A and B are shown apart, each in its own frame.
Chain A
Amino acid sequence: MTIVSPLNEKSEQSISQQNNHEDHRLFGLIAFLVADGMTFAGFFAAYLTYKAVNPLLPDAIYELELPLPTLNTILLLVSSATFHRAGTALGKKKNSQCQIWLLVTAGLGIAFLASQMVEYFTLPFGLTDNLYASTFYALTGFHGLHVTLGTLMILIVWWQARSPGGRISSENKFPLEAAEVYWHFVDGIWVVLFIILYLL
């Protein structure tokens, strides 16, 4: 296989001359998130159906503890705000402030994952115990995977903002914007998941 780059650059260039490059990349990302959201929608639909048709679903047996997931909700909501601060800082060309806010956001993401681990270890049921346990871990685990990916993305963006001659600057905000849109999406999904799984 030959990987030929001159053509790539060339065709991406002529497209970018013709069109607004940033614009269609962000558009593609949003289309991807719609797809990703449909995966969650499928999972939610399955969970709610189980709940509706299977009265023996032993969710009454385990009163889920609320403190940790509530803390998690707060962590994610705050992290959405801090990510937003990072974006505005970059817009005002305050690159070092932007880096700090990015690190804070990544820290909140890691805190979320840690607290989810704590929750997993204190739960009285395991993945294969029964249907309820399976759905619980599938939903929270799939979301946790998204948080992990999002946190990695934030760290990459931070790294890019840090390196001198930066790949990220107030002129080239796309990687940061992309990570931010993704992060808000992951937070939004969590809120829905929190309501469906813990509150309903």
Chain B
Amino acid sequence: MSFSIQQENTQKEPNLQPTGWFRYFSFSLDHKVIGLQYLVCGFIFYLIGGSLASAIRIELVSPISDFMPREIYNQILTLHGTIMIFLWIVPVVNGAFGNYLIPFYVGARDMAFPRLNAVAFWLIPPAGLMLISSYFINGAAQSGWTAYPPLSITTPAAGQIVWIISVLLLGGSSIFGGINFIATILKLRRPGLKLMQLPMYCWAMLGTSILVVLSTPVLAGTLILLSFDIVAHTGFFNPALGGNVIVYQHLFWFYSHPAVYIMVLPAFGLVSEILPIHSRKPLFGYTTMVYSIMGIVVLGLIVWAHHMFTSGTPPWMRLFFTIATAFIAVPTGIKFFNWVATLWGGRISINSAILFSCGFIVNFVLGGITGVALAQVPFDVHVHDTYFVVAHFHYIVYGGSVFVIFSSIYHWYPKFTGKMLNEKLGKLHFIITFIGFNLCFAPQHWLGLNGMPRRVAEYDPQFALVNQISSIGALLMALSTLPFLFNVIYSAIKGEEAGDNPWQALTPEWLTSSPPPVENWVGEAPLVTKPYGYGEEEHKNDEPTNNELQSL
């Protein structure tokens, strides 16, 4: 909260905002700068987390633990999970695109609390650096991104405490972000813009932010108790003192199941923006999309214990959580069919953005189906803590959220920079990523069904061949980063000029220059009450420029 008085100084100030690339390293309050800071910072952590993943897959090429000691394997596994979730996907699908797009979508010149916004971003780099540095100082945490006690209490304390502090900082960052998004969407809307006229991404972010505000604090409280157990030897989760590790699991998953929707709901929103533009059709079923987001929010909050079917949950609990979990397939299915219906019969341009979005749809369906399967207790008891679960959630978080992040970068890069990305490199990127991803994770279903446990550096030799296939897939995924990196850097310098609206889009961020001016619009913000009017009379003949059109 700032306690400052409002200054009634309407005189135009000279614009002292640093211009050029340097402003991206400064403490700026401009939501667009903060959004790109989130994006670039998140991508750097993605590269780090990806290198760690490669190290894991190299270790697993052979059944014995030969590439690194087992403690190091556990540390790298823990860092990988923590970085990917808390420093890459969550900050990017929420912080980066939310900050960049939402003020445009509600017709505002900035977020509701610009200072809080900058604080939320600047919590991230120090938290990330601290987390990684713990690896070099005293050994990083070893207990996985879930930090289950008693392991997290009994392994060396220093790394675990650093882990807790950085997750607390990152949690604080996302709570501040969530508050800001809710206030911006509900309170800063341009007069005349109704809620049911907002672009879908706003709804997705509203739902996500509600989840953030309701569930992240519970994780924070839990981790504070855990740190007491480690530092002050209290007994919350220590069975020796009468504590209960199952209570930790309940509290942890009360946050971490919603967390999967914190990673994937914004991705739903982004896809809902991208598909209509590149298929020149209105988003199918706007109202049902809105209700299904809110349905997912409500159901997402009450299904956490499906992660605990093997923790001695009583039968009534298993029944309740199975049914509730299975119900999420309904709103999710609605969204899936709406996306397909949006594409159906559209004039689809086959470009990198839509390829990644379609890749998302395909992967997400598979991840969703294995999710419904996992919700069935007998099946879950069989595959719990095996590679089947690893495959399931990577289909969701990588095949879902990460594919959408790439799709969104291809889609909004012209707005960010004023330049187009190279389409050939983009398609190459997509093909290698898609093949690499499926080669890496599809075989893991088989590994899990046949009993290979997760989080191990050594395994039964019968799994060697399939693990090697999986590692080749991982290698391809690592390689796929190269054309992408080259593309974003090269195109920023040498790319062809994009113009203000290369996709002939109708959403408000395209109705200003690329890149947009400070305060988003020169003059009044446009009032866009029909963000998906494609194909209607007045827009019949809009043709995207720079775009290979192909009728389906």
Which A residues lie at the B interface, using CB under 8 A?
1-4, 6-16, 18-19, 21, 23-25, 27-29, 31-32, 34-43, 45-46, 49-50, 53-54, 56-57, 127-128, 130-132, 134-135, 138, 156, 160, 167, 172, 174-175, 178
Contact = CB atoms under 8 A, between A and B. Distances in A.
B25 to A, nearest CB: 8
Contact of B241 (A27, A28, A35, A131): A131
A156 B233 CA distance: 36
Contact of B110 (A11, A25, A156): A11
B195 interface: no
Given A49-B247, A128-B235, 19 more contacts: A8-B29, A9-B13, A10-B519, A11-B29, A11-B114, A13-B10, A16-B6, A19-B187, A31-B179, A38-B217, A39-B217, A42-B221, A42-B254, A49-B244, A56-B242, A128-B233, A128-B234, A131-B235, A134-B241
Contact of A13 (B7, B190, B191, B241): B7
B190 A18 contact: yes
Given A23-B187, A46-B225, A11 B234 contact: no
B278 to A, nearest CB: 32
A164 to B, nearest CB: 14
B241 A46 contact: no
Interface string B14-45: 11111000000111111000000000000000
11 contacts: A2-B26, A4-B16, A12-B110, A15-B112, A31-B182, A40-B221, A54-B242, A134-B235, A138-B236, A160-B3, A167-B5
A28 B1 CA distance: 9
Given A39-B220, A127-B232, A28 B180 contact: yes
B427 interface: no
Interface stretch (B208-216, B348-356, B506-514): B208-216
A37 B217 CA distance: 8
Contacts of B242: 54, 56-57, 130-132
Nearest to B234: A134
A28 B184 CA distance: 9
A34 B251 contact: no
Given A3-B27, A138-B225, A36 B247 contact: no
Contacts of B366: none
Given A2-B18, A167-B5, A32 B179 contact: yes
Given A13-B10, A15-B108, A27 B17 contact: no
B113 interface: yes
B69 to A, nearest CB: 34
Nearest to B22: A2
A146 to B, nearest CB: 13
A51 to B, nearest CB: 11
A29 B1 contact: yes
B188 interface: yes
A36 to B, nearest CB: 7
Interface string B200-234: 00000000000001111110111001001000111
Nearest to A53: B244
Contacts of A42: 217-218, 221-222, 251, 254
Given A6-B14, A28-B179, A138-B228, A38 B215 contact: yes
Looking at chain B's contact residues, the main secondary structure is loop
Contacts of A57: 242
Given A42-B218, A56-B242, A127-B232, A9 B179 contact: no
B305 to A, nearest CB: 12
B109 interface: yes
B251 A8 contact: no
A96 B244 CA distance: 53
A155 to B, nearest CB: 13
A50 B221 contact: no
Nearest to B109: A14
Nearest to B242: A131
Nearest to A141: B228
Contact of A4 (B6, B28, B183, B241): B28
B307 interface: no
A169 B394 CA distance: 56
Contacts of A128: 232-235, 241
B251 to A, nearest CB: 6
Contact of A31 (B25, B183, B235): B183
Nearest to A3: B27
B183 A24 contact: yes
Contacts of A1: 25-27
B33 to A, nearest CB: 10
B217 A27 contact: no
A6 B236 CA distance: 49
B9 interface: yes
Contacts of A27: 183, 186-187
Contacts of B247: 46, 49-50
In this complex, which of A23, A34, A38 has the most chain B Cβ atoms within 10 angstroms of its Cβ?
A38
A35 B25 CA distance: 30
A2 B221 contact: no
B6 A21 contact: yes
A7 B518 contact: yes
Contacts of A19: 108, 187-188
A35 B29 contact: no
A172 B1 contact: no
B243 interface: yes
B17 A7 contact: yes
Nearest to B212: A35
A4 B26 contact: yes
B235 to A, nearest CB: 4
B175 interface: yes
Contacts of B180: 28
B241 A130 contact: yes
Give the top 5 A-B pairs by smallest Cβ distance, nearest first. Answer: A131-B242, A42-B218, A24-B187, A134-B234, A38-B217
B217 A35 contact: yes
B257 interface: no
B250 interface: yes
Nearest to A165: B5
B115 interface: yes
Contacts of B29: 4, 7-8, 11
A24 B182 CA distance: 10
Contacts of B6: 12-13, 16, 21, 172
A172 B7 CA distance: 12
B43 to A, nearest CB: 21
